[in-house]
Structure 1
Amino acid sequence: MLFVAVLAAVLVLTWGPGTPPVRRQGPPGTGPLTIVSLGDSTISGEGAGDYTPDTNGANGDWCHRSPHAEVFQTDVPGIEAKVNLACSGATSAQVGLGDVKQYTEPSQAEQLASLVKTHRVAVVVVAVGANDDPHFSQLVNECFQSWFITDHAPCSDTIKATWQDRIDAMVPKVVSALRDVRQVLARAGYETEDYQLVLQSYAAPIGPDIAAALQNLNGCPFRSEDLVWVRDKGVRALSDGLARAAGETGARFLDLSRAGDGHEACSGGADPAKEWFSRLTLQLHDLSDADRAPHALQESFHPNAAGHAQIGRCLTEFLATPLPSSACLVGADGNLHATPTLTAS
C-alpha cells in the first residue's frame, strides 16, 4: 500500500493532476514522411507499363515496378515521399524477414529496415498471399487450358475442391510477413501508433460479362462458367482469408474483391480504355531474346495504369478514415471509393 501511494504521488508530481503523458508526434527518426508499398505484382505496378529499367529484366530483375503503381497515385496529407518495394511474383516469405530472394532482390522487410534509416515511415501498405498456396497465376493458367482444350472440364470444377484449404494454408504465412514488418519498425523505435499498416486483397481481373468475340486469344480466353466462379467465389474467399490475417496482426484491411466490377479486362468491348485491368498481353519483341521470352506474357490480367489510379484514390480515402476495414466499390461517379464494409462474402 505504501508503494502504491508513493507511485501515485510521483505520477501526480510528474504529469500534474489530470495531465496525460506527452506522446511524440508521428514516426521517430529523421527524413521525409513516407508511404511504402510491399508485396507482389498486384501492387508493384505489373500491367501498368513504363517499368523502371532496373526492374525490367536488368541483371535478372523482373520485379516490374512502375511509376504508375498504386502507391504513387495516393495523395495523403503530410506524405512527402512514396516508395515502392513490391516485386512481381513475390510470396509472403519474400515480403517477410529471411535470406530469401525474388528476381535477385532481397527480402522486402530487410529493404524496409534500410529505408527507415533515412525516412520516417507513416504508412505501409501490403498486398501479398496470392502467390502462396492459392497460386493464383497457376489458377489463371489452368483456366486458360480449360478454354483451349475443349474436352477439358471447367477449371473451377477442380480448383474449388481445394480452394478453401489453400487459403487456410496461406493465412499464417501472410500473418508471419506482417509480423515481420512490425518487427522491423519496432526495432527502429516505432510504436504501433506511429504508423498505419494496411493489408489489401485482390480484385477479380476478369469477369463473365464480356463479349463472346473477346473470349479468345485476342483478349480473355476463358470459359464463362470459370469466370463466374473466379469473380463470385474464388476472389471473395481469398479476400476473406486475407481479412483474417489482417485481424490477427492488428493491420487495417482494404477489400478489393469487388473493385473491378464493370471494369475488368475485356469488359470494354471495342473500347479497352474503359477497363482497369490488362487483357492477354504478349510482348512480341521479347520473344526474340532468350532471357526475356519467359516474361513475354507477364503483364497479362493485372491492374493497368487506370486501375492503379483508381485503387490509389480508394486507398487515399481509406487512410483518411478511422475505420479498421473498408471495401473499394465503384460509386455513382464511376470512381472507386472506400466504403465502410468488412468483406465481400
Structure 2
Amino acid sequence: MARSRWWLTGFALAGVALLVGVFVLIGRDSQQPVEPPGPPGRGPLTIVSLGDSTISGEGAGEYTADTDGRDGNWCHRSPLALVHEVKAPGIVKSVNLACSGAPAGQVALGEVEQWTEPSQAQQLAQLVKTHRVAAVVVAVGANDDPHFSRLISECFTSWFMDSGDPCSEQITDDWASRIEKMVPKVVDALDDIRTVLRNAGYDREDYELVLQSYASPIGPDIPENLRNLNGCPFRTEDLRWVKETGAASLSAGLRDVAQRAGARFLDLSRAGDGHEACSGGADASTEWFTRFTVRWDDLTAVERATHAIQESFHPNAAGHQQFARCLSEFLATNDQAAACLKGEDGNLHPAPSLIPQTVG
C-alpha cells in the first residue's frame, strides 16, 4: 500500500514538473521578439523610390524645402510624387530617395553625386536600418547616354531657331547605340540595390524590385496655337518622334535591363496617350504633364535662375496619381512585366506589355 502511494505521489510530482516546464517554456517564448513575415529587421513596412526627375516628383510641385535649391540641392522631391500615392497591403510608409537629373551612377553604389547628394543606394543602406523595405521602384537611365531631357531642350532650340533639319533627324542616327550604352549602367545600378538589401539580410523574395520606363510627355496631336512658348514649343516632326520612337525604344532598352537584372518591369511609354502636355488645348486640367513652365520668381535670384524652367515637360500631380494607381495594381499581381494603359474608366491600369524586347 505504501509502495503504491509512493508511486502515485511520484507520478503526480512528475506531472507537476512537466506542467511547470511547459509554462516556463511558454513564458520564455512569449518574451522573445517574434520576427514578422516578409522583410527582416524592425520598423514600418516601406516602399522606396530611387531614380531621376520622373519619379522624384519634378513637375508635381510643392517640393520639400531641402530639395528646392537649398545649399545647391535641386533634387525637387515632392510629397505628391507617385511613391507617396501607392496603395499596397501592409505598406504604411513611403520614402522618396530619387533626385532630379540623376544618372544611373548616382543611383548605384559609388562616389557619384547629384545636386550635392551621395549615392541613392548608400542612402537605401541607411534606410533599411530603421525600415522594413517591401518594395523598391526605380526610374533611371534617361539621363545617361540617351540624355532624354537634353533631347527635349535640343528640340526646343530647333523650334526656336526655325532653321535646319528637325532635331529628331540628327538624333535618330545614333539613338539605338545610345540606348545600348545605357543598358549595362542601369543593370549595375539595380545590382547594387540588390547588394544593399542582401547585405542587410534580405532574400529576393522579401521585397519587390520594379523598374519603370518613361512616359512621353509630348505628342504630335496638339492644337497649332499651343506649339509655341504658351505651351509646347516644338516642331510637329519632333513631337511625333519623341512619342512614337524615342520613348518607345527607350522602354525597350529598359525592359532588357529588367530582364538582365531579374527585376519586374512596368512600361510607361504609352501611359500618357491623350494626356500629354498641351493635348487638352484650352483646358489643361486633362493633362498629366507640365507644359513649358517658368518659375518667374526664380528669375530674380542668380543662383535660382538657371532652374526656372526645370519643371517643364514632367509628370504633374495628376500624372503621378495615375502612375501610382497603375503601379499599385501591378504590385498586387505576380506578373513579371506589364504596360500602363488607359482603361474604359479613363484611368491607367496594368496590361500585357507588347513592346519589343530588344532595341532595333
Q: Which runs of 5+ in 1 are unaligned?
A: 1-22
TM-score by length of 2: 0.88
Q: CA deviation at 1:344?
A: 6.5
Q: CA deviation at 1:141?
A: 1.1
What residue in structure 1 maps to residue 64 of structure 2? 52
What residue in structure 1 maps to residue 93 of structure 2? 81
2:331 aligned with 1:328: no
Q: Which of the numbers 191, 206, 229 marks the counterpart of 2:218?
A: 206
Note the 1:13-52 alignment, pairs <5 A: 25-52=37-64
Q: Which of the numbers 222, 225, 231 marks the counterpart of 2:237?
A: 225
What residue in structure 2 maps to residue 184 of structure 1? 196
Q: CA deviation at 1:265?
A: 0.2
Return the alpha-carbon distance in structure 2 between the equivalents of residues 341 and 90 of structure 1: 26
Q: CA deviation at 1:340?
A: 2.1
Q: What do the CA deviations read for 1:63-122 (whole angstroms, capped 9, x no partner)?
A: 000000000111001001100000000000000001121111110000000000000000
- Classify 1:344/1:330 alpha carbon distance in 2 versus 1 (closer, same or farther; 3 Å): farther
2:321 aligned with 1:309: yes
Aligned length: 323
Match of 2:102, SS state, is coil
Q: Which runs of 5+ in 2 are unaligned?
A: 1-34
What residue in structure 2 maps to residue 20 of structure 1? none
What residue in structure 1 maps to residue 123 of structure 2? 111
Structural RMSD (CA): 1.1
Return the alpha-carbon distance in structure 2 between the equivalents of residues 298 and 140 of structure 1: 12
Are the counterparts in 2 of residues 246 and 253 from structure 1 also a CA contact under 8 Å? yes
Q: What do the CA deviations read for 1:199-234 (whole angstroms, capped 9, x no partner)?
A: 000000000000000000000000111111111111
What residue in structure 1 maps to residue 154 of structure 2? 142
What residue in structure 1 maps to residue 178 of structure 2? 166
Match of 1:235, SS state, is helix
Match of 2:306, SS state, is helix
Q: Which of the numbers 288, 291, 316 marks the counterpart of 2:303?
A: 291
State the one-letter code of the partner of 2:123.
Q
Are the counterparts in 2 of residues 255 and 342 from structure 1 also a CA contact under 8 Å? no
Q: Which of the numbers 169, 177, 187 marks the counterpart of 1:175?
A: 187
Return the alpha-carbon distance in structure 2 between the equivalents of residues 248 and 154 of structure 1: 35
Match of 2:112, SS state, is coil
Return the alpha-carbon distance in structure 1 between the equivalents of residues 205 and 349 of structure 2: 25
State the one-letter code of the partner of 1:261.
D
2:262 aligned with 1:235: no
Are the counterparts in 2 of residues 325 and 342 from structure 1 also a CA contact under 8 Å? no
Match of 1:180, SS state, is helix
Please list every run of at least 4 consecutive aligned residues from structure 1 whose deviation after the TM superposition is greater than 6 angstroms: none
Q: CA deviation at 1:142?
A: 1.1
Q: CA deviation at 1:151?
A: 1.7
Q: What do the CA deviations read for 1:3-48 (whole angstroms, capped 9, x no partner)?
A: xxxxxxxxxxxxxxxxxxxx97200111000000000000000000
Return the alpha-carbon distance in structure 1 between the equivalents of residues 90 and 270 of structure 2: 30
- Classify 1:131/1:143 alpha carbon distance in 2 versus 1 (closer, same or farther; 3 Å): same
Note the 1:262-277 alignment, pairs <5 A: 262-277=274-289
Return the alpha-carbon distance in structure 1 between the equivalents of residues 352 and 274 of structure 2: 20
What residue in structure 2 maps to residue 18 of structure 1? none
What residue in structure 2 maps to residue 62 of structure 1? 74
Match of 1:292, SS state, is helix
Are the counterparts in 2 of residues 258 and 344 from structure 1 also a CA contact under 8 Å? no
Return the alpha-carbon distance in structure 1 between the equivalents of residues 335 and 328 of structure 2: 13
Return the alpha-carbon distance in structure 2 between the equivalents of residues 343 and 74 of structure 1: 25
State the one-letter code of the partner of 1:235.
A
TM-score by length of 1: 0.92
What residue in structure 2 maps to residue 248 of structure 1? 260
Q: CA deviation at 1:152?
A: 1.9
What residue in structure 2 maps to residue 12 of structure 1? none
State the one-letter code of the partner of 2:154.
E
Are the counterparts in 2 of residues 133 and 167 from structure 1 also a CA contact under 8 Å? yes
Q: CA deviation at 1:307?
A: 0.2
Structure with greater Cα Rg? 2
Q: What do the CA deviations read for 1:250-296 (whole angstroms, capped 9, x no partner)?
A: 00000000000000000000000000000000011101101100100
Query: Identity percentage over the alignment?
Result: 66
Q: What do the CA deviations read for 1:170-226 (whole angstroms, capped 9, x no partner)?
A: 000000000000000000000111000000000000000000000000000001111
Q: CA deviation at 1:146?
A: 1.3
